[in-house]
Amino acid sequence: MTGSTSTFVVSVPGGSLTGWRAGSGPPVLILHGGPGLSDYTEPMADELVDGFTVYRYQQRGLAPSTTTGPFDIETHVADALAVLDVVDETRAFLIGHSWGGHLAMHLAATYPDRWLGLVVVDPLGVIGDGGESDMMRIMGERTPPEAAERAAELDARAMRGEGTPGDALEALSIVWPAYFATPEKAPPMPAMRMSLTCYAETWDSIHHELSRQTLPGILGRFRAPTVFVLGADSPIPPRHGIDSAALIPGAKTEVLDGCGHFPWLERPGVIRSAIDSVRNGT
């Protein structure tokens, strides 16, 4: 992150979480995607530090945070609240990307009074399978056949808790261009690490919660300003985010042409614009 950055540590069951603080102004908590990935949201946070105090942290599963579980939605929710408590913020704006956007909706629905506003960036949705099957299909279609077959094999191994982190990262590197509106112009994949156990077990929890379809019934209790930022060319089709947004009273959606799953990389400034809109209630 640009400017002065400080580190904080949060005690949680099983160990601790490590996070980073920068900027000044109203508090914003960022949730990275994955699950089981190292935090990659620094470029997003850089958009916000001039005007906000930005907090982000490494979710459990990878150092410097605890590498132990349990890896389920309930624990990830509790971890995010523990971060908010330790940084001494009663309420904060919340931004989540991808799996982090899905997690943000759980936090908004179950603890609506803790959040000043919500920005959900190209998330896994909360209705049906959230767009998972569409994402897998579209990613495959955008990837050369032999490479797609290799990536699918590696990903299936990871979902079973087998293989190695290197296998999973190889799969991610193969399909990385397919996350973007123009795959041949995709930026290089940032250095990442992965916890296979966190990945597989968190997905098990996601699937369980989606099968119960509890969030659609309770998201309506969240009344703070909300914006969904969706890539028109994301492998998660925008309709999944639009359907999720419709469950939150007054939530707005921004579908960005020429953007995929990482809109702040393809159109810098879009996340700052969204959080400013939420902050101003416009």
pLDDT digits (tens, 9 = 90+) for 196-230: 899 889 999 999 999 999 899 999 999 999 999 99
pLDDT of residue 3: 54
For 97-109, how does the pLDDT look when each residue is reduced to its tens digit (9 = 90+)? 999 999 999 999 9
pLDDT of residue 151: 87
By residue range, what is the domain housing residue 252? 5-280
pLDDT of residue 14: 95
Indicate the number of domains in the chain. 1
Q: What are the CB-based long-range contacts (under 8 Å, 24+) for 212-217?
A: 213/127, 215/105, 215/106, 215/109, 215/126, 215/247, 216/126, 216/127, 216/247
Task: Convert 198-244 into a string of H (helix), E (strand) and C (coil).
Answer: HHHHHHHHHHHHHHHCCHHHHHHHCCCCEEEEEECCCCCCHHHHHHH
The type of residue at 126 is V
Residue 164 CA to residue 152 CA, distance in Å, equals 14
CATH number of domain containing 38: 3.40.50.1820
For 26-48, how does the pLDDT look when each residue is reduced to its tens digit (9 = 90+)? 999 999 999 999 999 999 999 99
pLDDT of residue 282: 74
Average pLDDT, the chain: 94
**Structure pTM?**
0.95
How would residue 88 be classed by pLDDT, with cut points 50, 70 and 90?
A: confident
